[in-house]
Structure 1
Amino acid sequence: MTALRTRRLPRALALLLAAGTALAGAPAASPADAAPAGDIRINEVVTTGDVEDSVELYNKGTATVDISGWILKDGKNGKGDKDGSKYKIPSGTVLAAGAFRAFDVHDAFGLGSDDRARLYLPDGKTLVDSYSWGRHSGPSWSRCPDGTGAFKAAEVTLGAANDCGGGGTTPVAWPGGSSVTNADASHVFGQDLSGLHQDGDIMWGAQNSGKLWRLVRNGSGGWTPDTGGGWRTGKTLRFPGGSGHPDSEGVTATGDGAAGGVFVASERNGDASGTSRLSVLKYDVSGGAGTGSALTAVKEWNLTSDLPSVGSNLGFEGITWVPDTYLTQAAFKDASTGAAYHPARYGAHSGGVFFAGVEGTGMIYGYVLQDSGAFTRVASINTGMRGVMELQWESRAARLWAVCDDTCDGRHRTLQVNKAGVFTTTAVYNRPTGMPNYNNEGFALAGADECVAGRKPVYWSDDANDDGHALRKGTITC
């Protein structure tokens, strides 16, 4: 993400993705007979913020319900109903049992600080459910537990289970030291340093300007550009064939390390900056790639057509690789088949799954990228975050880190595969108390071999280069 990026989350896109658990095409039941209308509940309301004027519905019953033509209205508390303003749910909308569906109602009516949301059957007179409040959501009004409990202030989780303070979703203190120090010399990188990936004594850094850095230890616990092989000022990246300027946001490697190539997540071509191009690019960074100032991708997996549309500057931000060994041992469910993930089904690939995070929606997508250039999406994860700016796989702890920047106060989430075979949040951590709310877009963890007295280093990259520094160092418990 560039330093001047617009921060507002696209409303329609966010709610389109949030609606992913509503199973279109599922056998529909009449709301009047096959399932009680009361099974459909107003479950979450957002009145202000990135996705203001949004209402989520939840099916707490056991049967699919057709909610086509149902009506959402507002109405100030004690000040009469504004029946002329209403939102009609589109035809063909169904909610499976346990499903969530969020609706952006701002074009029909606004939700104020002293207001209420009401749900009616298609006749517009039969009230199904309602919720009133006396102040703006902060940031969300959410039922806890889903569908049956009282409303409380919580994090925005439109289209997913509410954050009710259980299951490790309440933010807790950073699990390491509170102090953070600079990890680079002054004014080395400038702005737009984004994704990070540590591979032993090498740190890879992706810069939005279409540049890849190879960093080595500086002897003071930090990192400095490698001065050999043409890496002194970073190398310019190109798409296959030598064209364009990838907007490089995230970087990772497989279990083979850099010898297996370095993989970069890009959200667009800088030569056509108004058009999304959600790609994963593979670069040969071995000695045989030459000592020049540019690298041309040896392969591109252009995933744009397989993903929901996003703004050209709100696409892929982070990328990481998770080994097949963990996924099979954890009984990870392959979303493309609905069954357990079997790596052999995909033939020659990297030996793992690449997970890419989207800034504009907070979604994480998992892909098997085959050596042939084919790809298959095997996971779509709604993190409940406003945006995902970085992803990192921590192998020893077997957990996936999803990192947000200053728009989320620098919070970090960890995810692991649950008993249902899907990645779910296990913890939410606040940033270290000694670190200001920097625009951190990169995060990397040292390996277990660097543990000293129960802690190991972690690093952040600051897109804004605050105070002339783009890299900072902290610690985390091993």
Structure 2
Amino acid sequence: MRTPALRPAPLRLGAAIATALVVAAGVTTASPAFAAVGDDDPTIGAAAANGLVVNEVESNGDDTDWVELKNTSAASIDLSGYSFLDDDSTHDAYVLPSGSTIAAGGYFVIDQLSATASGFDFGLGGADTARVYDPAGDLVLRYSWTSHAVVTYGRCADGTGALVETTASTKGAANDCSSPVRINEVESQDGTPGDWVELTNVGSTTVDLGGYVLKDSEDDHAYTIPDGTTVAAGGFTVLDEADFGFGLGKADSARVFDPRGALVDSYSWSAHAASTYGRNPDGTGDFADTAEPTKGAANRFAGVVTAEAWPGGPDETVLDDEDTFSGDLSGIDWTTSSTSEDGQLWAVQNGDGLLYHLTSDGQGGWAPSNTAGTDLRYADGTGTPDAEGVTVTSDDPDAVYVSTERDNDASSTSRPAVLRFATSDGAESTLRATDEWNLAADFPGLGANAGLEGVTWIPDSWLTEHGFADEHTGAAYAPSTYAGHGDGLFFVGVEGTASVYAYALMADGSFQRVATIGSPFAVVADVQFDPTLDALWVACDDACAGRTALYELTDGVFTAAKVFEAPSNADRTLANEGFAVSGVCTDGELATFYADDNDTDGFSLRTGTYPCEGGGTEPGTDPTEPTDPTDPTDPTPTPTPTPAPSPGAGVTPSPTTPVAPSAPSETGLTDANRGNVSAPSSARAGETITVTVGTQYTGDVVKVWLYSTPTLLGTVTVAADGTVRVTIPADAPAGEHRIVVTAADGTVLGWTPITITASGELAFTGAEGLGAGALVAFLLLAAGAGVLIVRRRRTEAAAE
């Protein structure tokens, strides 16, 4: 983390006056940090003398990051003009609006900027600090942590206890300090060796179950769990009928009480399950019929992808020398090389907008050929692109494409864009973008720190061969539809929506969304096309403990086929925002590459392995013909073919042609199926919304429509929590509409009304009637500063 920049003492009085004037002027959005705001003092704690305390912190990439304050005093506290920062003093402090108050005993949430509310425009990292300053610029609250909480950090007891890992997130309410033990799976008939109840632990530390009590629906059926029985964090402990001594009936309950007699969890049923009843997902979801009993292991459900162990090597090994990179290494991409059989790597650093070209030493080592990195700029030579992802394409071999969230020199404004830079080896000291595709119109209200993370490119030839469906046209993807888009589509991962989107990027700077792909993750950190597997990788960072997902094209739609845990020996708190896979198979292994945004212990680049077929040589030689992820003409490593079991061997099947989806008849939208799904009551044109379909549809592919004139919003996979995310078209007319969800076969699953309003502005641009520059000048003059101090913002650390 960067050392906070301390402001000179003479500016502090002026800062206090300036802040007061900001509040008096009614400026109610994020405002730059002045003078003492940003000064740090590690001796300041998480409780202030006036009764204000940091009560709960969410940093792990759920909908938004936030910090909850509680007033433990007997009088209300006016928070107008208070400022909030993380550990990076180069960020713009968020100034709480005039009229912000917290009642005696009440709660106040300082939230991250979202599509519907103002807030701070930076993220809270795995190792970070929450700092609150009063209107005079004095630091009054400070709380630090070293890694993301599994859920949140909160005071137990609420308001007064130490900040510890909570059992459940309770934003704006009393903290949940209850036991993290949950009933996870129940077998009530024909079990092995009898009935049983599986418990799990949704907390972060092992729980001693000694003294806990299991009961069924009858209070006199009670079993006290013996001392020494434990359940590990995220683990499972099974209680067998042979131990608890009573059977579970057809209509019965399972109840668990803590040693004090307080009910911890319960589940009731009215009939035996065909298999067992289990939570989906484990520990936190609703109960449903499982696909099969998984006694003492993670639950399995039909159509739901369950995370499984990483199939490659157990380690992520450091590749770079210490301090090779200065931190914030974010995106990474592997491609073939004309000079090395090991290929080459491209990487980008988001804070200072640098591009790196890395080469192999032939012995398994990698280092930048451009040691200082190439400084990236926008087309006019200005700005610092917040470079998050990087990819190359076979139709444009002398260029790299970079995905960005914003211009770090205007860090409060969202600028989700793909930039093209003309280079073949990164030898240039500075590069100006030759082209920019700014996708902001597709993501109105998207936070400046919630934009494009990863980017990859898939050739049209592969997409058409595999029957890719175009959600824009509702038919099979036809490249000729998008004149001037090149020979493939760009797939971008968006942090703020936790989804992937396919785009045709035209030569004139226009674009068209072609597909929307939901993810099972809280954050999409990177995306990578893998032609060796005919699949798309979607990677999460430490917000999901380093999980990755492998998507395959099924019936024209990319669908999650597998979800993998991080390698078993890997540090799951690493902020691995970049992920790439080599196309060279060596001794049955492909190299995987990880870019750590936190530069943990001074190292940013790590490598692992993924299994492949073939390859029996050392690095630097030619084990198999390397596969370029962007070149459809390159061969892919394949196993030795085996004879077909039926006639027709050698016949190439025709590509699958998706059937254009037909909108359900409006007469099918009845009161009977109204309300079976839910969505926000209103949304802006262009806004991305969450639609709740139900956990019973988890893993199913559904279509989401907007009525009155039927418009397909997306063909998406229902996530583990029963939701999907879709985007309202930017040109959707304002007024009353309906969100309709249909199954793959067209059956209406449900509908709900929604009001569409006109698209709003992306960012605050200044107080009405007073330009931002004039306002700053006025405040500094009023404060007696007399001098307008101009500094270039240090680049914003993306604490995702």
Pairwise TM-score range, normalised by the shorter structure? 0.5 to 0.7
Distance 2:383 2:546 in 1: 32
Q: Deviations over 1:276-317 (max 9, x none)?
A: 100000000047x9x541100000000011125322112111
* Aligned equivalent of 2:463: 327
* Aligned equivalent of 1:32: none
Distance 2:304 2:396 in 1: 32
TM-score, length-scaled by structure 2: 0.41
Which is worse superposed, 182-191 or 272-281? Answer: 182-191
| CA distance 1:15–1:173, change in 2 (3 Å) | farther
Of residues 358, 366, 369, the one that matches 1:215 is 358
The aligned amino acid for 2:367 is T
Q: Deviations over 1:92-146 (max 9, x none)?
A: xxxxxxxxxxxx99789999979xxxxxxxxxxxxxxxxx997699xxxxxxxxx
The alpha carbon displacement at 1:373 in A equals 1.3
Which is worse superposed, 1-10 or 392-401? Answer: 1-10
* Aligned equivalent of 1:70: none
| CA distance 1:193–1:216, change in 2 (3 Å) | same
- Partner-residue secondary structure (3-state), 1:266: strand
The yes-or-no answer on 1:464 pairing with 2:464 is no
* Aligned equivalent of 1:204: 346
The yes-or-no answer on 1:284 pairing with 2:422 is yes
Q: Is contact 1:157-1:385 (8 Å) kept?
A: no
* Aligned equivalent of 2:406: 268
* Aligned equivalent of 1:58: none
Q: Is contact 1:168-1:426 (8 Å) kept?
A: no
* Aligned equivalent of 1:427: 562
Which is worse superposed, 261-270 or 341-350? Answer: 341-350
* Aligned equivalent of 1:122: none
The alpha carbon displacement at 1:413 in A equals 0.2
Q: CA RMSD in A?
A: 3.6
* Aligned equivalent of 1:355: 491
The aligned amino acid for 1:468 is G
Map residues 24-103 of structure 1 onto 2, 5 A cutoff: 49=151
- Partner-residue secondary structure (3-state), 2:501: strand
* Aligned equivalent of 1:239: 378
Of residues 180, 198, 201, the one that matches 2:316 is 180
The alpha carbon displacement at 1:220 in A equals 3.2
* Aligned equivalent of 2:655: none
Of residues 49, 58, 62, the one that matches 1:9 is 62
Distance 1:184 1:316 in 2: 26
The alpha carbon displacement at 1:203 in A equals 0.6
Of residues 366, 381, 391, the one that matches 1:252 is 391
Q: Is contact 2:547-2:564 (8 Å) kept?
A: yes
Distance 1:136 1:404 in 2: 31
The alpha carbon displacement at 1:343 in A equals 0.4
The alpha carbon displacement at 1:168 in A equals 6.2
Q: Is contact 1:13-1:361 (8 Å) kept?
A: no
The alpha carbon displacement at 1:258 in A equals 3.7
Distance 1:184 1:6 in 2: 28
Number of aligned residues: 354
The aligned amino acid for 1:270 is N
Unaligned runs of 5+ in 1: 18-47, 51-103, 115-131, 138-148
The aligned amino acid for 1:222 is G
The aligned amino acid for 1:364 is V
Q: Deviations over 1:353-406 (max 9, x none)?
A: 111111233111110111121100011111121000011100121100000111
Unaligned runs of 5+ in 2: 5-57, 65-110, 117-149, 153-168, 180-254, 257-262, 267-275, 291-298, 337-342, 613-800
Q: Is contact 2:400-2:421 (8 Å) kept?
A: yes
* Aligned equivalent of 2:331: 195
The aligned amino acid for 2:63 is P
Q: Is contact 2:386-2:405 (8 Å) kept?
A: yes
The aligned amino acid for 1:266 is T
Give the strand-richer structure, 1 or 2.
1
- Partner-residue secondary structure (3-state), 1:446: strand
The aligned amino acid for 1:215 is L
TM-score, length-scaled by structure 1: 0.67
Which one has the largest radius of gyration? Answer: 2
The yes-or-no answer on 1:170 pairing with 2:313 is no
Distance 1:314 1:3 in 2: 24
| CA distance 1:240–1:431, change in 2 (3 Å) | same
Q: Deviations over 1:259-282 (max 9, x none)?
A: 2x1000000000111111000000
Distance 1:244 1:361 in 2: 25
Q: Is contact 2:115-2:445 (8 Å) kept?
A: no
The aligned amino acid for 2:526 is E
Q: Is contact 1:249-1:317 (8 Å) kept?
A: yes
- Partner-residue secondary structure (3-state), 1:185: coil
Distance 1:385 1:136 in 2: 26
* Aligned equivalent of 1:377: 513
| CA distance 1:346–1:13, change in 2 (3 Å) | farther
| CA distance 1:16–1:225, change in 2 (3 Å) | closer
Q: Is contact 1:249-1:267 (8 Å) kept?
A: yes
Comparing both chains, which one has the higher relative contact order based on Cα–Cα distances under 8 Å and sequence gaps of 6 or more? 1
Distance 2:308 2:347 in 1: 28
- Using the aligned pairs only, state the percent identity: 38
